[in-house]
Amino acid sequence: MTGPARPRRRLKQPREDVMAAAMATIAERGLAELTIAGIGRQVGMSSGHVLYYFGSKDELLLQTLEWSEEQLAAERRRVLGGPSAPRERLDAVIDLYLPDGRRDPRWTLWSEIWNRTTAAEDVLRRQLDLELVWHRDLVALLAEGISRGDFRPLDPERFTVRLRALLDGFGVPLVIGLPGTDRGQTLEHVKEFLDDALTPAPAG
């Protein structure tokens, strides 16, 4: 076996430092002021060194998003594994999904990465993979709620597509801080939608 299998744990820490710095800068000052050299300054690296790790700014942004989604996935799993009713867990997952507020770095990264799409097939694939994680968890939760009779019987796959589209559409105004949008009201809107769509017809 030629397996080097060397853990190279060394690499992990500086990369995470860089990604954490990127997230923090986006949250504090926005994407426009995020520069490679600036990130490097924050973590004590030269700009060249940052690119030695990530190859390009695009790659840095995408990996930062992936890293951020991994962390959120852990939280989501905790919520999903909880004991409460499917509907309560659904509400909690949606609360995790929607942006924290204006300039939420995770959503800002999403939005930026959409734009950079120069048709690179593998990048699109990676974006899709990130979405699928949410998708699958939502589908499973819906299926559980349906089988328990908590939710009206519907196609969980199709409904999840619809729900995610709705959430994405609601999320964007929140991240950019469009006047008149407010997280609380948005959550109410979503809940109203879920009430309309999921609540079983009152049985006679």
Partner DNA sequence: AGAGGAAATTGAGTGGCGTTCAAACTTTCC
Partner DNA sequence: GGAAAGTTTGAACGCCACTCAATTTCCTCT
Q: Which residues sit at the interface with DNA, rule CB under 7 A?
A: 3-4, 6-8, 10-11, 14, 34-38, 44-49, 51-52, 55-58
Q: Which is nearer to a copy of itself, 143 or 176 (CB)?
A: 176
Q: Tell me the C-alpha to C-alpha distance, in Å, between residue 133 and each of 129, 130, 154.
A: 7, 6, 21
CB contact at 8 A, 167 and 97: yes
From the list DNA, a copy of itself, none, which binds 14 (C-beta under 5 to 8 Å, kind-based)?
Answer: DNA
Q: Given the rule CB under 8 A, which residues bind a copy of itself?
A: 30-32, 102, 108, 111-112, 114-119, 121, 124-125, 127-128, 158, 161-162, 164-170, 172, 175-180, 189, 192-193, 196-197
Q: Could you tell me how far CA 13 lies from the centroid of its own chain?
A: 22
CB of 37 to a copy of itself, least distance (A): 19
CB of 79 to DNA, least distance (A): 35
From the list a copy of itself, DNA, none, which binds 49 (C-beta under 5 to 8 Å, kind-based)?
Answer: DNA
Give, as one character, the DSSP assignment of residue 70.
H
From the list a copy of itself, DNA, none, which binds 84 (C-beta under 5 to 8 Å, kind-based)?
Answer: none
Burial class (CB in 10 A: 0-12, 13-18, 19+), 7: exposed
Q: Which is nearer to a copy of itself, 11 or 124 (CB)?
A: 124
From the list a copy of itself, DNA, none, which binds 164 (C-beta under 5 to 8 Å, kind-based)?
Answer: a copy of itself
CB of 156 to a copy of itself, least distance (A): 14
Sign of the four-CA dihedral 61, 99, 192, 178: negative
From the list a copy of itself, DNA, none, which binds 147 (C-beta under 5 to 8 Å, kind-based)?
Answer: none
Q: Which is nearest to 66 in space by CA: 133, 116, 2?
A: 133
Q: Which is nearer to a copy of itself, 47 or 111 (CB)?
A: 111
Q: Which is nearest to 197 in space by CA: 154, 138, 137?
A: 154
Name the residue with tokens 């809940």. Answer: 191
C-alpha span between 170 and 153 (Å, rounded): 25
Q: Which is nearer to DNA, 26 or 36 (CB)?
A: 36
Q: Which is nearest to 171 in space by CA: 181, 157, 180?
A: 181
From the list a copy of itself, DNA, none, which binds 143 (C-beta under 5 to 8 Å, kind-based)?
Answer: none
